[in-house]
Structure 1
Amino acid sequence: MGAEMKKLTAQQRLFLRAGSVINDFERNNFKVSADVASRAEELKPQLLYMVRYDKSFRFEAELFLNGLVLATKQAKGQDVLAEFKAVCERINAALEARC
Structure 2
Amino acid sequence: MLIVDDDPLITDTLDFVLGRDFNVYVAESRAQVKSLLRQLDHAPELALVDLGLPPSPHRPDEGFRLINELLALSPDIKILVLSGQNDENNARHARALGA
TM range (shorter): 0.3 to 0.5
Task: Indicate the structure with greater helix content.
Answer: 1
> What is the TM-score of this pair, normalised by structure 1?
0.34
Computing the radius of gyration from Cα coordinates, the structure with the larger value is: 1
Q: Which has the higher strand share?
A: 2
